[in-house]
Structure 1
């Protein structure tokens, strides 16, 4: 690989690392916290910051278009409600910066829940920010290597 190509990839890698924190702040997550009669949902950005006092809407399974409850998250990014019927409930949180996340939960009977399959794993799963940055750099370096090998092959 030529020194010019290496320089370009190193520059791209540095830019990726510098912007990784800003880009990842756009990802919102929702995780259900088990409680006795209430459903408590913890909201957070992928950076770990919480959306304090963000707008929340709850929709019941009886009428998905009619709002059951609304309010705001607390200072720690949590919101709680007590369902009055079994079925699939939707909780939608939107902050004042244009970010939005929708969380669904299945209520088995009034006052109790059974987590939706894979909901908690999807909410906090995936790669951490530093690992995503490292994977991005690896991808760029692999693309550069393949490109250099391709050019070398074409010259021969």
Structure 2
């Protein structure tokens, strides 16, 4: 019985090691809006805290780098597109979070009126409380398994 339980525990740990890791509690998101000719993009984590001083790279509709820099203290970055098409803005915060956000620019040179959002590799639309509960549940189950193993060992 002890060998079976230990095998199950090792298999579970091995399975968890193969799962992709993500910082879902700090998913990086982007929202853009028009301000005259400029496109203002705000980058924020799931708790709505701005991604301050994160590295930004703007790729023009032609696929070439148009601009680079850093967000401000509130996680904002602005640029003025000079051609129609899809512009891509990539932001990395230096802590493993990265988001690529697309902005459609109309033939007039102004960004499309619709704001869009994007999320990083968290990949889950579940809310923060649900993800936190699932993480706590996982920890509780691992602690229970360790207690059962210790109890079996003592008997």
> Counterpart of 1:106?
104
Asked whether the equivalents of residues 36 and 111 of structure 1 are also in contact (C-alpha less than 8 Å), the reply is no
Asked whether the equivalents of residues 91 and 99 of structure 2 are also in contact (C-alpha less than 8 Å), the reply is yes
Change (3 A) 1:43 1:59: same
TM-score (norm 1): 0.61
Q: Deviations over 1:61-111 (max 9, x none)?
A: 12x1x2100111011000000000000100001112121100001100344
Unmatched tracts of structure 1, length 5 or more = 1-21, 141-156
Asked whether the equivalents of residues 33 and 113 of structure 2 are also in contact (C-alpha less than 8 Å), the reply is no
Q: Which has the higher helix share?
A: 1
> Counterpart of 2:78?
80
1:31 to 2:28 alignment: no
Summarize the alignment of residues 66-145 of structure 1 with structure 2, pairs less than 5 Å apart: 66-114=64-112, 119-120=116-117, 126-133=125-132, 136=134
Asked whether the equivalents of residues 41 and 78 of structure 1 are also in contact (C-alpha less than 8 Å), the reply is yes
- How far apart are the structure 1 equivalents of 2:89 and 2:100? 6
Q: Size of the alignment, in residue pairs?
A: 112
TM-score (norm 2): 0.61
- How far apart are the structure 2 equivalents of 1:23 and 1:101? 13
- How far apart are the structure 2 equivalents of 1:110 and 1:71? 25
1:52 to 2:52 alignment: yes
Unmatched tracts of structure 2, length 5 or more = 1-21, 139-155
User: 83-92 vs 34-43, which deviates more?
Assistant: 34-43
SS in 2 for 1:114: coil
Coordinate RMSD, CA, aligned: 2.8
C-alpha deviation, 1:131, in angstroms: 4.2
